[in-house]
């Protein structure tokens, strides 16, 4: 039902002016659609949990280092970069760079994104630099994640 | 008069619902946001958070944050507690899904340029939300106190500890001593169930308030 409503509204096109008024009322149409999405997500989580339950290895033993040790998948790129970067820059040790770049500099850069990118356009065709940099960053993260697994 | 109308009227008499509700309930969701599934990612992350909070409360009823008991209590949740294995596994999967959803949400905001004026600060709040979410993952990873938990945290705190200047303080705060032990486990537990939830709720309030005040950005 929410869908038909959307179709009805979707027929008029005003591309380049603010369109805050048109659209579905939050209640009940928008909420209904949200509830459907929520049911799908919750259902998938329960399915995943039943098919692949959370694991539990042997109890922690400070005197027995297992191998390999993997962190959570979203930290792999940090490990990958640390392994990858073996070059000292002047007096700065390679290891310092290896931890500072993916943790401190990377997050600092992320926070500054809206202040670095002063281009007011939201049209993706007029944001070539931002788009290219974004794709490079994504590929970099993927590459270092891959690196951390392969050169473990 | 039906029951629901009676209740509505009773509340309306006291709280002026008639004036309060329409702006919330009738507030239109713009159609480009309704028709494009990329806009679901933030909501998906939020749903995952709600599921995590609920399943987390149940886990906290059985989990014991000491080196002697932690592993056994998790084993008990998995083997003996009714539905325990399901609750813990849903917590596990919701955590991973939340991180993925937050990352994809961030990617959509980036490539749509939705962080531009006037939404700069909401992006900044977003980055802190991202940090909070991954720290949730990091602190939760240690709690089962199994081999993977222990050694991954050992390496993780080691890396955080070698950040120049801040590192030594970070590792002192996290580890609470020279080596991973009872102090570390209770700290990670406090971070995971007290500090981070308080932080994320505050950040989410700010985040949603700003989305509400500024509206969702339009156009690709
Ligand atoms: C716990 C994590 C997060 C939750 C639950 C969340 C939730 C949401 C929701 C529900 C919206 C409305 C639009 C949509 O869903 O796409 C939104 C918008 C927004 N989010 Fe997030 N978010 C989170 C993290 C982030 C992160 C990591 C960033 C970026 C660094 C971010 C930046 C933004 C911005 C700039 C908007 C406004 C976008 C627009 O107007 O189109 N959020 N967020």
pLDDT, one tens digit per residue, over A104-134 is: 999 999 999 999 999 999 899 999 999 999 9
- pLDDT of B24 higher than 70: yes
Q: Structural domain boundaries of chain A?
A: 25-54, 73-150
Q: Which ligand 1 atom sits closest to the C-alpha of B39?
A: 16
Q: Which of B74, B89, B141 sits opposite A53 (nearest CB)?
A: B89
- pLDDT of A19 higher than 50: no
- Report residue A9's pLDDT band, with 50, 70 and 90 as the boundaries: very low
Whether residue B190 has a cis bond before it, omega within 30° of 0? no
CB contact under 8 A, A26 and B27: yes
- Residues in chain B with CB shorter than 8 Å from the CB of A56 are 71, 74-75, 78, 144, 146
Is the four-CA dihedral B114, B117, B122, B124 of positive or negative sign?
positive
CA dist B61 and B47 (Å) reads: 22
pTM: 0.89
Q: Quick one: average pLDDT of B50-62?
A: 98
Q: Structural domain boundaries of chain B?
A: 35-214
> How far, rounded to the nearest angstrom, does the alpha carbon of residue A129 sit from its chain's CA centroid?
20
3-class DSSP assignment, residue A107: helix
Using alpha carbons, select from A20, A74, A110, A101 the residue that is nearest to residue B110: A110
**Higher per-residue pLDDT: B120 or A151:** B120
pLDDT for position A22: 61
Is the four-CA dihedral B203, B208, B210, B216 of positive or negative sign?
positive
Q: Quick one: average pLDDT of A3-25?
A: 47
CATH class of B35-214: mainly alpha
- Residues in chain A with CB shorter than 8 Å from the CB of B151 are 60, 65-66, 69
pLDDT for position A3: 38
């Amino acid at each position: 039902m929410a869908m038909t409503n959307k179709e009805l509204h979707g027929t008029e096109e005003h591309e380049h002016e603010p369109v805050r008024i048109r659209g579905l009322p939050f209640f009940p149409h928008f909420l209904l659609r949200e509830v459907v999405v929520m049911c799908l997500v919750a259902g998938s989580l329960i399915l995943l949990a039943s098919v692949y339950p959370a694991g539990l290895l042997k109890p922690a033993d400070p005197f027995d280092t297992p191998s390999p040790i993997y962190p959570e998948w979203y930290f792999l790129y940090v490990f990958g970069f640390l392994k990858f970067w073996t070059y000292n820059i002047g007096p700065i040790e390679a290891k310092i760079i290896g931890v500072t770049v993916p943790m401190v500099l990377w997050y600092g850069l992320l926070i500054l994104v809206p202040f670095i990118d002063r281009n007011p356009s939201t049209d993706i065709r007029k944001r070539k630099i931002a788009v290219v940099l974004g794709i490079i960053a994504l590929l970099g993260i993927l590459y270092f994640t891959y690196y951390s697994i392969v050169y473990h | 008069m039906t029951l629901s109308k009676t209740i509505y009227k009773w509340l309306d008499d006291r709280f002026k619902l008639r004036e309060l509700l329409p702006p919330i309930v009738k507030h239109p969701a713009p159609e480009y946001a309704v028709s494009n599934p990329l806009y679901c990612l933030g909501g998906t992350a939020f749903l995952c958070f709600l599921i995590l909070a609920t399943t987390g409360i149940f886990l906290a009823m059985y989990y014991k944050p000491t080196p002697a008991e932690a592993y056994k209590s998790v084993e008990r949740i998995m083997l003996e507690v009714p539905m325990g294995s399901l609750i813990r596994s849903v917590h596990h999967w919701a955590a991973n899904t939340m991180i993925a959803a937050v990352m994809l949400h961030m990617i959509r905001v980036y490539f749509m340029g939705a962080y531009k004026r006037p939404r700069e600060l909401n992006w900044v709040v977003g980055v802190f939300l991202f940090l909070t979410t991954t720290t949730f993952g990091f602190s939760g990873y240690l709690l089962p106190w199994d081999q993977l938990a222990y050694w991954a945290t050992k390496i993780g705190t080691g890396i955080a500890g070698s950040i120049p200047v801040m590192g030594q303080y970070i590792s002192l705060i996290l580890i609470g001593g020279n080596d991973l032990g009872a102090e570390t486990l209770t700290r990670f537990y406090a971070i995971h169930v007290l500090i981070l939830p308080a932080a994320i709720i505050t950040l989410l309030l700010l985040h949603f308030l700003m989305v509400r005040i500024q509206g969702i950005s339009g156009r690709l």
